[in-house]
Homo-oligomer: A and B are copies of this chain.
Amino acid sequence: MIKAAIYGASGYTGQELLRILLRHGGVEVTAATSRRYAGRPVADLYPAFTGQTDLLFEEASPDQIAARCDVVFLALPHEVSMAVAGAFLERGVKVVDLSADFRLRDETVYERWYAPHTAREYLQEAVYGLTELYRDAVRKARLVANPGCYPTSVILGLAPLLRMKWIDPDSIIADSKSGVSGAGREPVVNSLFCEVDEAFKAYKVGQHRHTPEIEQELGALAGTKVTVSFTPHLLPLSRGILSTIYATLREEVTTADALALYESFYRNETFIRVYKEGAFPNVSSVRGSNFCDIGLTVDGRTGRVIVVSVIDNLIKGASGQAVQNMNLMCGLPEDEGLRMMPLYP
Q: Which residues of A contact B (CB under 8 A)?
A: 12, 15, 19, 22-23, 46-52, 170, 173, 175, 177, 180-181, 185, 187-189, 191-203, 205-206, 227-229, 231, 233, 235-240, 242, 244, 246, 273, 275, 279-289, 291, 293, 295, 297, 299, 301-302, 304, 306, 308, 339-345
Contact = CB atoms under 8 A, between A and B. Distances in A.
A238 B197 CA distance: 7
A341 B50 contact: no
Contacts of A280: 201-203, 205
A189 B197 contact: no
Given A192-B185, A194-B181, A235-B200, A340 B340 contact: yes
A288 B199 CA distance: 13
A258 to B, nearest CB: 13
**Across the A-B interface, the 3 shortest Cβ-Cβ residue pairs:** A199-B284, A201-B282, A194-B345
A284 B200 CA distance: 7
Contacts of A180: 192-194, 197
Number of copies: 4
A181 B345 contact: yes
A192 B194 contact: no
Given A181-B345, A193-B193, A293 B50 contact: yes
A340 B342 CA distance: 12
A192 B189 contact: no
6 contacts: A22-B341, A47-B275, A175-B175, A187-B188, A198-B198, A199-B237
A200 B52 contact: no
Contact of A237 (B236, B301, B344): B236
B50 A345 contact: no
A23 B340 contact: yes
B197 A197 contact: yes
A293 to B, nearest CB: 7
Contacts of A235: 200, 235-236
A198 B237 contact: yes
A19, A50, A231, most chain B CB atoms within 10 A: A50
A341 B23 contact: yes
Contact of A342 (B48, B237, B281): B48
A201 B281 contact: yes
A308 B205 contact: yes
Given A180-B194, A187-B187, A345 B239 contact: yes
Contact of A200 (B50, B231, B242, B299): B242
